[in-house]
Chains A and B, each alone.
Chain A
């Protein structure tokens, strides 16, 4: 079992390495953020496997990682909005002119 759990953790790390390639490559910011999201979930999985391997106290670290990864993603979505404080669900995803985003977001 120990051997399998080690192999599993290594394979998960290699899979994370693949997602890192997408962070490097992009091209869009959403691509990079999605890859970071996959790396976050993969990190949680690695920590679960390490918990079985080393110490169950590591589940606490996995929990914290899951919570904080969600915060980082919300932070990304906020910083992507026109005024840095919005919600992509507010304004309909239609083409809009630069510079008017702030007024639109306030009214929408």
Chain B
């Protein structure tokens, strides 16, 4: 049962990561690329953390996985906002 959950959840996470990378490669301008990337990596990492959590041995490891995901969400949210702003000023430079 736990193994099936791991297969499904980590598989979903992988799909999101690959989608994020494909978007990063294929999308035409940097703001749509940023969009693809933030969806991809936040959800992808979340699904992988959840999937891996079904294989843990202690609850502390589950907590650690969720903490890492939370930190990554916080950092990614902040950073994508700031990088997008920086990209706006970069693209408007003479």
Contact = CB atoms under 8 A, between A and B. Distances in A.
A64 to B, nearest CB: 10
A88 B76 contact: no
A31 B17 contact: no
A93 B89 contact: yes
B25 A69 contact: no
B21 A19 contact: yes
Interface residues of A, number: 53
B94 A98 contact: yes
Contacts of A1: 3, 6, 55
Which secondary structure characterizes the binding site on chain B?
Answer: helix
Interface of B: 3, 6-7, 10, 13-14, 17-18, 20-22, 24-25, 30, 33-34, 37, 40-42, 44-45, 48-49, 52, 55-57, 61, 64-65, 67-68, 71-72, 75-76, 78-80, 82-94
Interface of A: 1, 4-5, 8, 11-12, 15-16, 18-19, 21-22, 28-31, 33-35, 37-38, 41-42, 44-45, 48-49, 51-52, 56, 59-60, 62-63, 66-67, 69-70, 73-74, 76-77, 80-81, 87-89, 91, 93-95, 97-98
Given A4-B6, A48-B45, A56-B61, 16 more contacts: A1-B55, A4-B7, A18-B21, A18-B25, A22-B24, A41-B76, A49-B10, A49-B48, A52-B55, A56-B57, A62-B68, A63-B64, A69-B75, A73-B79, A73-B82, A91-B89
